[in-house]
Amino acid sequence: MRFAVDAHAIGRHLTGNEVYVRSLLNGFAALDRESEFITYLSMDEVEAWVPSRFPVRRIAGNPFVRLGCDFALKLRRDRPELLHVQYTAPLGCPVPVVVSVHDVSFLEHPDYFPFHRAMQLRLTVQHTIRKAARILTGSEFSRDSIARAYHLDPDRIAVVPNAAADCFHPVRRDTALAQVRERFGIAAPFVLSVGDLQPRKNHVGLIEAFGRLVQAHPHLPHQLILAGKETWFGRRVHEAAEDSGVADRIRFLGFVSDDDLLHLYNACELFCFPSFYEGFGLPVLEAMACGAAVACSNTSAVPEVADGAALLFNPYNADEITRAMLDLILHAELRSRMCRLGLQRATHFSWQKTAQETLDVYYDVLERRQPVEARAVSASISEQ
């Protein structure tokens, strides 16, 4: 079989989308040694992220060019049996499409996006879903949201959970602390949160909650460390930090590598994820896989992923966020239990399993398509 995978996210620091496609490609390489996986990249010098036996093709970085003509032309040349994309397929795609739609926040909460971005997703994702042979998503929450938004039979949508990458695992705490201190000049103890500076990640609410924690317990030496790419909303988050009264205890690290993230997860006293809306919530699993105690939102797909292995709070209530952080800081036994439960929870997910279930969808699409094509050929012959 010859499959095509849209991997233009690799090298673009598109966080979840990039992790997803990189991890799938590695899983495919381990599981299916017979098929060919043509990998389409748009960034230079990122081939190292692609398994060496997979052929690599270049597609335009400009999305209008890529989706408008360039990608479809290359697919016609390469003639794969199927194309897998995230969110948006190229116009005039000549092969069946499997699309991963991680969430529909752009429909349910367009205020989380710049206006033009929300409108672009509204149009292109709708077009892709209508044409797609199958839709993949990471959680039951997202499947229900997608089916409701597009009036789909839920059976068209396969739930294939994500996982923490193998690079996230427990590391000796003293080793992790030394790495974090050397790399960022950060000393323990600290609260960690990971996510691009977007409205839905609720950094503003977390900063308010952390400020209340410090004001109520000034003897606590903790810092708040925010790891995530700057975005159009970043200025608002930085302003919140400046106005918090505890700006000297808040650090912004920007985008960090997986290796740095590994040590941050292992060195933190607790991981806090206050997001309003997630289609999955991968940082929760990454933190758990590293043995961090987790406090996270009780909204969208996050509690489905955490499943009792984290302290849950209402992300719209700063006092609840403060209380969850404080409980984990003050109660070592509770923190230890959450670390243990998190490690156990993370083992329920693996990219090998995700890749296998994704391949199963590919083959199911092709098997369903073959009888249709056979009937079309038969009808054509009978008409001659």
- pLDDT band of residue 372 (cuts 50, 70, 90) is low
pLDDT confidence of residue 374: 43
- What are the φ and ψ backbone dihedral angles of 251, each rounded to 5 degrees? -120, 135
Region 235-263: what's the mean pLDDT?
Answer: 97
Is the pLDDT score of 173 beyond 60? yes
Reply yes or no on whether the pLDDT at 317 is more than 80.
yes
**Domains located in the chain, CATH noted:** 2-163+351-382 (3.40.50.2000), 173-346 (3.40.50.2000)
- Indicate the SS3 state at residue 233: coil
Q: Determine the pLDDT at residue 373.
A: 52
Q: 383 pLDDT exceeds 80? A: no
Give the closest residue to 174 by CA, choosing from 47, 266, 39.
Answer: 266
The reply to whether omega before 189 is within 30° of 0 (cis) is yes
Q: CA dist 102 to 88, 122, 145, 336, Å?
A: 12, 14, 10, 32
Q: Which tokens in the block code for residue 188?
A: 């323990």
Q: Is the pLDDT of residue 269 over 80?
A: yes
Q: What is the mean pLDDT of residues 285-298?
A: 98
> Once rounded to an integer, what is the mean pLDDT over residues 132-144?
98
* pLDDT at residue 371, as a whole number: 59
Cα–Cα distance for residue pair 28/20, rounded to 1 Å: 12
pLDDT at 369: 83
